[in-house]
């Protein structure tokens, strides 16, 4: 934009000096103007960097978050700590901060002090915020430091609500939503933007007058585009309108009886016969297919009204380890799978069992 090489600048400077003066390399004029040309070239390069700052799409990390906050007051949603209720057996005391962990070393701390007599359910929270705390059922099985009298621990359900900090792309999209759909006077944009500001919420569907005048229903999915946990729904309800009373005690505008619910899962099962790349194991092949299918389903959640049979096939073909496929069925059929977006039933697609023959 502004940058020129020092040679270009030097040539232009020398062209403004009378030809009666020696301007050859090593002359007084040449040696006097050459350092100046170099310095001007550096300042022009610096100007280019400053100019780029005016384009918000060139920013990242803290710089992007700061610019968006300064312009709109929108903050990056932070990482959250995964939680679970674990069953501890034995006879003893577990204190706040006592640790349990998975065999892989993902640690959780007790959030309460409790006497264990036989067995009891104890609430735990991941030590490290983010998706690393999301583990399947029956994986929290160890005490990294022995606790007197306590024999075993397990989580009968997967951990929940461990989300990474909002990505740059997601934050930028919220910024665009904010400036392109102004939130004023209790309009639809105000409800949607408020709900997307809540940590853990990935998207929202808005249903006005779903239960009469002045009623609003917001159906949410989490940042992984999955049905939210009951804890996230309850927290989002308290944030928007405690008790759905429309009293202006939450973020929702006064007089709007706002109900927050979670979307239902529309489970998508996949079955196909593969032409396999022998450089990959069956486990690698399956993991690659699952990753691509999950990415596709996340991309269409709350956006498209159908799960495309053709795009499922495309996701499979782009998976490493798959050379070709035949006999593809999606939910047992060979057609698109519709998704419901109504106040009575709002669905988000969730990958189920993937079978590769």
Residues 220 and 269 in one domain: no
Confidence (pLDDT) at 183: 83
Confidence (pLDDT) at 182: 86
Residues 269 and 256 in one domain: no
Residues 140 and 98 in one domain: yes
Average pLDDT, integer, range 159-177: 96
Q: Look at residue 274 and tell me whether its pLDDT is greater than 80.
A: yes
Kindly state whether residue 11 falls inside one of the protein's structural domains.
yes
3-state secondary structure 316-356: HHCCCCEEEEEEEEECCECCCEECCECCCCEEEEEEEEEEE
Kindly state whether residue 274 falls inside one of the protein's structural domains.
yes
Mean of the per-residue pLDDT values of the chain: 95
Kindly state whether residue 169 falls inside one of the protein's structural domains.
no
Residues 248 and 276 in one domain: no
Confidence of residue 49 (pLDDT cuts 50, 70, 90): confident
Residues 231 and 273 in one domain: no
Residues 297 and 324 in one domain: yes
Q: Is 6 buried (19+), middle (13-18) or exposed (0-12) by CB count in 10 A? A: middle
Residues 215 and 238 in one domain: yes
Kindly state whether residue 26 falls inside one of the protein's structural domains.
yes
Domain end marker among 262, 286, 319? 262
Kindly state whether residue 161 falls inside one of the protein's structural domains.
no
Q: Look at residue 2 and tell me whether its pLDDT is greater than 80.
A: no
Domain end marker among 221, 241, 262? 262
Residues 209 and 245 in one domain: yes
Domain end marker among 211, 242, 262? 262
Residues 258 and 273 in one domain: no
122: helix, coil or strand? strand
pLDDT digits (tens, 9 = 90+) for 73-112: 999 999 999 999 999 999 999 999 999 999 999 999 999 9
pTM: 0.82
Residues 273 and 227 in one domain: no
**Structural domain for 282, as ranges:** 264-356
Kindly state whether residue 171 falls inside one of the protein's structural domains.
no
The first and second tokens of residue 203, run together, are 């998207």
What is the DSSP secondary structure assignment for residue 27, as one 8-state letter?
A: S
Average pLDDT, integer, range 232-243: 96
Domains held by the chain: number: 4
* Distance in angstroms (rounded) separating the CA atoms of residues 151 and 67: 52
Q: Look at residue 48 and tell me whether its pLDDT is greater than 90.
A: no
pLDDT digits (tens, 9 = 90+) for 302-348: 999 999 999 999 999 999 999 999 999 999 999 999 999 999 999 99
Confidence (pLDDT) at 158: 96
Q: Look at residue 51 and tell me whether its pLDDT is greater than 80.
A: no
Identify the weakest region by mean pLDDT among 81-85, 181-185, 268-272: 181-185
Q: How far apart are the first and last CA of the chain?
A: 56
Length of the chain: 357
Kindly state whether residue 238 falls inside one of the protein's structural domains.
yes
Which sign, positive or negative, has the C-alpha torsion 50, 54, 57, 63?
positive
pLDDT digits (tens, 9 = 90+) for 112-125: 999 999 999 999 99
Residues 248 and 312 in one domain: no
Kindly state whether residue 118 falls inside one of the protein's structural domains.
yes
Residues 248 and 285 in one domain: no
């Amino acid at each position: 934009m502004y940058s020129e090489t020092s040679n270009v600048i030097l040539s232009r400077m020398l062209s403004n000096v009378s030809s009666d003066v020696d301007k050859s390399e090593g002359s007084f004029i040449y040696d006097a103007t050459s350092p100046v040309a170099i310095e001007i070239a550096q300042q022009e390069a610096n100007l280019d960097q400053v100019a780029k700052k005016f384009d918000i799409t060139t920013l990242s990390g803290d710089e992007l978050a700061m610019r968006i906050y300064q312009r709109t007051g929108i903050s990056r949603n932070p990482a959250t700590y995964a939680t679970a209720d674990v069953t501890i057996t034995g006879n003893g005391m577990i204190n706040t901060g006592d640790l349990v962990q998975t065999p892989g070393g993902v640690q959780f701390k007790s959030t309460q002090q409790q006497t264990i007599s036989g067995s009891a359910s104890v609430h735990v929270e991941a030590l490290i915020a983010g998706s690393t705390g999301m583990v399947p059922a029956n994986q929290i099985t160890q005490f990294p430091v022995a606790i007197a009298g306590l024999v075993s621990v397990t989580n009968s359900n997967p951990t929940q609500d461990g989300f990474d900090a909002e990505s740059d792309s997601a934050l930028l999209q919220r910024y665009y939503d904010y400036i392109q759909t102004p939130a004023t006077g209790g309009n639809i944009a105000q409800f949607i933007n408020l709900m997307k500001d809540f940590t853990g919420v990935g998207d929202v569907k808005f249903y006005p007058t779903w239960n009469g005048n002045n009623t609003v229903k917001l159906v949410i999915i989490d940042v992984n585009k999955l049905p939210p946990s009951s804890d996230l729904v309850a927290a989002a309800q308290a944030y928007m309108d405690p008790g759905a009373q429309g009293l202006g005690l939450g973020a929702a505008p006064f007089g709007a009886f706002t109900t927050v619910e979670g979307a239902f899962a529309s489970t998508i099962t996949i079955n196909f016969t593969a032409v396999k790349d022998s450089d990959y194991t069956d486990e690698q092949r399956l993991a690659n297919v699952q990753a691509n299918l999950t990415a596709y389903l996340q991309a269409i959640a709350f956006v498209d009204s159908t799960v495309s049979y053709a795009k499922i096939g495309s996701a499979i073909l782009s998976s490493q380890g798959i050379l070709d496929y035949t006999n593809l069925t999606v939910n047992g059929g060979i057609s698109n799978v519709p998704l419901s977006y109504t106040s009575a039933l709002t669905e988000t697609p969730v990958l189920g069992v993937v079978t590769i023959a």
